[in-house]
Amino acid sequence: MSNFIRKHHIKRHIGRYALIILGCLIASVGINSCYVPAHLLTGGVTGISMIMLFTFGFPLGVQTFIYNIPLLVAAYIFLGKRYLMDVIVGTIVFSACLDLTKFMNDFHLVPDHMLSAIFGGVLCGIGYGIVFRNNGSTGGFDIIGAIVKKFYSFDMGAVIFSFNCLLMVGGGALFGVTQAMFTLIGMFVSANVTDKVIAGINHRKAVLIVSKKAEEIADGIIYEVGRGVTFIHGKGAYSNVEREIVFVVVKTTQIAKIKAIVDTVDRAAFMLIMSANEVLGRGFTLPGVELDKLRQGRTPVDTDD
């Protein structure tokens, strides 16, 4: 059993590092195909490297790795070995990908600055999102933010944003306000896409239904929608009445059916619909239980009355 667990653990890590490499490659493509030709900046240490690239022509990937060395030492001292390993992998791979995709600088795939900012932000956001989703890191300001948060209880996102603002001001002073504004657009798009990738793009809806006819509603959902239902025991604070609360997670397209079932069975039911960014487990990321098995031993309830 221990060998099985060990093999599963190794496979999981291999898959995770493969996705981190993919994310670094996508982000590098975004930087070299969109940002660099348009003289736009990205955030973090890579942004500093880009300023030096535009000013002196220093290689982007080599710079990024060199500037990260003192930060990696600080991570080892203040954050420990466990944090350091993933950061080292991400930093080395990302730095290498930046120089491997350097040839894309000459293609000028997107001649318009606004499109460069938007599509560069989308590609960087997808890449960074894949890296972060797999507990990876590309180093840079992430390390500074983690250290500051550990010792001063500052919000990590606020610390990184503050450093990026300083970087954008410096870039604006060197390359003009217009470039700084396009850079800001790129950073905004990248941050939002990163959040979407981390949270998951397959959004679902979580539904809570409080009704006197909870079992009838549950049967209707099982038979009509084909989703499993969970009962949560609840008690009204004012009425002191105990009731079963229906809990179900469904696709967005199935919400209309849920509403119709609830309206048919109990128009006085209280229903709360919430967004669920990511749903894991049986019926979503794992094969669902066959509907016939759910129906075994149960008598259909007529919801037309």
154 in a structural domain = yes
Domain that holds residue 41: 2-199
Using the CB atoms, write b or e for 215-238: b if 16+ within 10 Å. bbbbbbbbbebebbbeeeeeeeee
305 in a structural domain = no
* Residues 126 and 228 grouped into a single domain: no
22 exposure class (CB count in 10 Å sphere: 0-12, 13-18, 19+): middle
* Residues 164 and 20 grouped into a single domain: yes
155 in a structural domain = yes
What order do you get walking across the sheet with 270-276 strand by strand? 230-235, 242-251, 204-210, 270-276
304 in a structural domain = no
* Residues 145 and 269 grouped into a single domain: no
* Residues 237 and 132 grouped into a single domain: no
* Residues 284 and 166 grouped into a single domain: no
pLDDT of 300: 46
How do the pLDDT tens digits run along the chain, 305 residues long? 456 567 767 888 888 899 999 999 999 999 999 999 999 999 889 999 999 999 999 999 999 999 999 999 998 888 887 778 888 989 999 999 999 999 999 887 888 999 999 999 999 999 999 998 888 889 888 888 778 877 776 666 667 778 888 888 888 898 999 999 999 999 999 988 988 888 776 678 899 999 999 999 999 999 988 888 999 999 988 889 999 999 999 988 889 999 999 999 999 999 999 988 777 776 665 665 555 554 555 544 444 43
* Residues 175 and 211 grouped into a single domain: no
CA dihedral 147, 149, 151, 24 (to 10 degrees): -10
What pTM value is reported for the model? 0.77
Q: How many residues in total does the chain contain?
A: 305
pLDDT of 202: 65
* Residues 108 and 250 grouped into a single domain: no
108 in a structural domain = yes
* Residues 124 and 239 grouped into a single domain: no
187 in a structural domain = yes
* Residues 179 and 229 grouped into a single domain: no
184 in a structural domain = yes
pLDDT of 135: 80
* Residues 176 and 84 grouped into a single domain: yes
Q: Hey, what amino acid is at 214?
A: A
pLDDT of 86: 80
Backbone angles phi, psi at 273, to 5 degrees: -115, 125
* Residues 63 and 109 grouped into a single domain: yes
CB 91 within 8 A of CB 28: no
* Residues 219 and 263 grouped into a single domain: yes
